[in-house]
Amino acid sequence: MIRRWRPSGRTGMHELSVCQGVLRQVAVIASEHQASGVESITVRVGPLSGIEPGLLAQAFPLASAGTVAERATLIIESLPVRVRCKSCGAESETTPNRLLCGQCGDFHTQLLSGDEMLLASMELTT
Amino acid sequence: MCDTCGCNITPGNKHLVQAGGKLARTQDGKAAVTVLKNLLSENDHQAAHNREHLDQKGVLAINLMSSPGAGKTTLLEATIDALGGDYKFAVIEGDLETENDAERIRARGIPAVQITTGNACHLDAHMVHQALHQLSLDGLDILFIENVGNLVCPASFDLGQHRNVTLLSIPEGDDKPAKYPVMFRAANVLVLTKTDLLPVLDDFDPDKAERHLRELASEAPVLQVSARKDQGLDGWLDWLRAERDAHRHRLAQGETLRPAIQPDGGRLHALKNESPPHSHDHEHGHHHGHEDV
């Protein structure tokens, strides 16, 4: 019985595995639309997603080579970190490691934006 | 993506991905498609399978995350020693290399599967799925998944667990929650480990660590444990017992639980843009054969 193995085709940079995951989704969607190519891929990545936009951009040409998206432009949109206070209801913009209410300083807040990791849209050649 | 049943296209999203769905022609004849899916939706789907499977067997799955050397395996050893008579445990170990941690767990008579990731800096749901197939889940109370020691990457990947435990050892310093907000925001409980070193490393202020955690809008409890000196273990064991009982209760109500790893902002944003919620009226279940370890 094998209890130990090495998953194949993985690399140390988690942005590369994220990129490969995105491209598999892109391939499915492109084939659903019988697209011959992908012109652009727009993703939304917030500072609290754990994904570094610079590394994602670097990983993209490596991961997309030989796929339907190899000529695609990767567009990365980032949104500010915003919270809504559960105590006073105020909404404020803040930094990733200080998710306190900008009005009253309470830490009981809900994150409104800043942790997105979304495949938002694609432009296809059909 | 689901390799087994092809369920990644759901009744909830198929109108987006099928031709004639939310599709608009741009002026130059290209097709623009709105997708609004999580970048990691492939992983999330596998994670949902894992969770469903664990739920069917009544198992609570706990993901342990920390820096390398913070004491994850030592905490597990102490937990097994304290509760091994009452609860049935199994462990999945993630490391870049070596079988060392799994051997430490097996030495205590607990089934353990070692995943060696090579260069990968985190476990993902697919790796955990493969490991689950090498374990017998029957009669299991708690499955611990000891993630790769790393304060960055593991926080972004749902494995199918129900709870995240983040460890912070005293030598690492009390400002780690401020430095690694993504990781510490994902914690359902923060365990300060190696607290027997507090008298020596007196620049570590547990209150300060907690303050940094609160600044991430986290209400997670903060526990202090020295597994080696057997200090503060009761708080941790009580938390585990309460979580396991709460999980059994949830399952009896037909409910389950996802850890704090999924981005709320992303979901809210998707809703704002009228993306349909992820529908789960399709079946995730498929036949699982499990070897006994």
Assigned domain for A65 exists:
yes
pLDDT (0 to 100) of residue B140: 97
Best to test chain A binding among B7, B17, B33, B42 (most A CBs inside 10 Å): B33
B119 touching A (Cβ < 8 Å): yes
- Put simply, whether B214 touches A (Cβ < 8 Å) is yes
Contacts 24+ apart (CB under 8 A), A73-76: A73/A39, A73/A40, A73/A41, A74/A40, A74/A41, A74/A43, A75/A40, A75/A41, A75/A42, A75/A43, A76/A43, A76/A44, A76/A45
Write down the CATH number for the domain with range B57-252.
3.40.50.300
Residues of B in contact with A122 (CB under 8 A): 32-33, 35
CATH of the domain at A107: 3.30.2320.80
Q: Could you report the predicted ipTM of this complex, rounded to two decimals?
A: 0.77
Asked if A42 and B39 count as a contact pair (C-beta separation under 8 A), the reply is no
* Domains in chain A, number: 1
DSSP state letters, A82-122: EEEETTT--EEEEBTTB---TTT--S-EEEEES--EEEEEE
* Nearest CB partner across the interface for B215, out of A13, A44, A97: A97
Q: What are phi and psi of A109, to 5 degrees?
A: -125, 160
In terms of pTM, does the model score above 0.90?
no
Q: Select from B17, B26, B35, B97 the residue whose CB has the most chain A CBs within 10 Å, as the one to mutate to test that interface.
A: B35
pLDDT digits (tens, 9 = 90+) for A51-106: 889 889 999 999 999 999 999 999 999 989 999 999 999 999 999 999 999 999 99
**Contact between chains at A12 and B182 (C-beta distance less than 8 A):** no
Closest C-alpha to B57, from B291, B243, B288: B288
Domain ranges of chain B: 1-38+263-283, 57-252
Residue A6 inside a domain? The answer is no
pLDDT tens digit string along B40-82?
Answer: 888 899 999 999 999 999 999 999 999 999 999 999 999 999 9
* Mean of pLDDT values over B10-19: 38
Chain B residues inside the 8 Å CB shell of A107: 214-218
Q: Yes or no: say if A97 and B211 are a contact pair by the CB < 8 Å rule.
A: no
DSSP string, A30-88: HHHTT-SEEEEEEEEE-TTSS--HHHHHHHHHHHHTTSTTTTPEEEEE---EEEEETTT
